[in-house]
Structure 1
Amino acid sequence: MADNRQPEPENLQLVHLLRAVTVEFGMRQAEFAARNGMHPTDVRALICLLDAARAGEPATAGLLGARLGLNSAGTTAVIDRLERLGHVARVRDALDRRRVLLRVEPQAILLGREFFGPLIDGVLVVLDSFEPAERDAVRRFLTAAHTVFTTQEPGA
């Protein structure tokens, strides 16, 4: 029987490749969570908090809930779990003592580095083989794709 399928357009191939990478990354996150007694949402929460720290944003429960799409009770449950595990600490904001900030503890960063470090190092080696213009193209594509996913509703 002949295969009458049409080849996929190149751009759609790239979308499917991006999906494959995100699925694989999600599976690695789930494996990390399972190994360390966490829920997959806990791992996403840690990533959100680390991203906020890198961006110089105050990491509050409100910010975390908004980024994860959780209500107040769900956000509190995530923070409580991470605090019990020693991965996150609630600290008073030095500029506004009424506000509580969330800080990822050094042991959690080390735990993540031990698991994800070899993967990140592998991707960095790949990126080192790219010319600056190629890295710029990858950055533009990933930034634009991220914008699509964060600004458009599915099925809209």
Structure 2
Amino acid sequence: MYRRRDDRRGQIIADIANDLRRYSVDAQHVGHAFAGLHGLNATDLHALIAVMDAELAGDPITPGRLGEQLNLSSGSVTALIDRLERGGHIRRDRDTADRRKVFLHYADRGAALAMEFFRPLGARTDRVMDRFSDEELEVVHRFMAEISASVREHRDAVRAARPEAPRRAAD
């Protein structure tokens, strides 16, 4: 798949692929350390990331969309949300226009815990980014956005190719 070739481009591509794999594993270890420290399981962590991503995109997530993203039944999503809410990680807010609609947001306590844990990593990341010019960062950003989209497309294709399996319960 990512075999090293004799040419320079092939070598660079292989090195980047290996770096991405190592980054992915290391980032998972950091996420699992945060989860373990706060009594969260893998599904809890994925839910928190989904809530955060939706908020950052300016499009808060609903319980239904969260269930679709995590491949969970509505009962499992309810139990997951209840657990995260009790732990102070998220909060439910009703839509002002349609009171039947619920949006999930990071709770202040959950955001503070995440900030405290990830602040040192953010400082390290800032120091690395400071070593690159704006033009270099633009290229890296474009590369990462396209690689991430490619991985999501592959994930979705794999999901679509699998026989329909019952939705799994939360961990």
With normalisation by structure 1, the TM-score equals 0.88
Paired with 1:130 and 1:105, the residues of 2 have a C-alpha distance of: 34
Equivalence for 2:147: 145
**Alpha-carbon distance between aligned partners in 2 of 1:144 and 1:70, rounded to the nearest angstrom:** 27
The RMSD of aligned alpha carbons is: 2.1
Deviations 1:42-79 (A, max 9, x none): 12211211111111113201221222233323322321
Match of 1:33 among 32, 35, 39: 35
Give 1:87's match in structure 2, choosing from 65, 89, 113: 89
Structure 1 stretches of 4+ with a deviation exceeding 4 A read: 5-8
In structure 2, how many angstroms separate the alpha carbons of the residues matched to 1:103 and 1:17?
A: 33
1:6-39 deviation line (CA, Å, top 9, x unaligned): 7773202101101111111101111111111111
Contact 2:60–2:105 (Cα < 8 Å) also in 1: no
Give percent identity, aligned residues only.
Answer: 37
Cα deviation for residue 150 of structure 1 reads 0.8
Q: Secondary structure at the match of 1:94?
A: coil
Of residues 68-77 and 89-98 in structure 1, the stretch that sits farther from structure 2 once superposed is: 68-77
TM score, norm. by length of structure 2: 0.81
Please name the residue that 2:66 is paired with.
Answer: 64
Specify every segment of 5 or more residues in structure 2 that has no aligned partner in the other structure, as ranges: 162-171
Which residue is equivalent to 1:111? Answer: 113
Which stretch shows the higher mean deviation, 74-83 or 108-117? 74-83
Structure ranking higher on relative contact order (CA contacts 8 Å, 6+ apart): 2
User: Secondary structure of the residue that 1:102 maps to in structure 2?
Assistant: strand
In the alignment of these two chains, the number of paired residues is: 152
1:64-117 deviations in whole A, cap 9, x for unaligned? 122223332332232121012121112211121111111210110010011111
Match of 2:14 among 12, 18, 21: 12
